[in-house]
Amino acid sequence: MPNEISFLYPLSPQLLDRLRVRATTERGDIVSFVVQYEALIADQWHPIVRYDTSHGFSHKDTLHFDGWEDKQPLPFPSYNIALTFAIQDLKASWRWYRAGYEREMQHDQG
């Protein structure tokens, strides 16, 4: 029987950055997941990077300010490993992802 896991994980002390995590497990194995980095910019939450298993494979979507998405397949043999990688990457690199997104916003508005 599937088990759902869902939580928000704060990344910054000011609570302006967070991970949104949702996963489904069956018998201890991850069968689907979404891990999304979101940033509060100008009083609005923006999804910036999302790892998920939609389309039947694990991949990373980089979400750009203009609406464009870059999709990159993940080379892991299981969703368990892909989920762990996604969480670790976003915890380690969220500042870099945010800075790039904010540069895109300035370029688009300037």
For residue 32, pLDDT beyond 70: yes
Share of the chain above pLDDT 70, in %: 98
Distance CA 81, CA 97 (A): 22
Q: pLDDT averaged over the chain? A: 95
Q: Is the confidence at residue 109, as pLDDT, over 80?
A: no
Could you tell me if 11 and 70 are in contact, meaning their C-beta atoms sit under 8 angstroms apart? Answer: no
Each domain of the chain, given as residue ranges in start order, spans 3-109
DSSP assigned state of 56: G
Each residue of 36-90: pLDDT tens digit? 999 999 999 999 999 999 989 999 999 999 999 999 999 999 999 999 999 999 9
State the pLDDT at residue 110: 58
pLDDT attached to residue 1: 81
pLDDT band at 17 (very low <50, low <70, confident <90, very high): very high
Note the pLDDT of residue 46: 97
Q: Cα–Cα distance between 55 and 41 in angstroms, integer?
A: 29
pLDDT at position 92 is 98
Q: In what side-by-side order are the strands of the sheet with 59-63? A: 3-10, 17-26, 29-41, 44-52, 59-63, 69-73
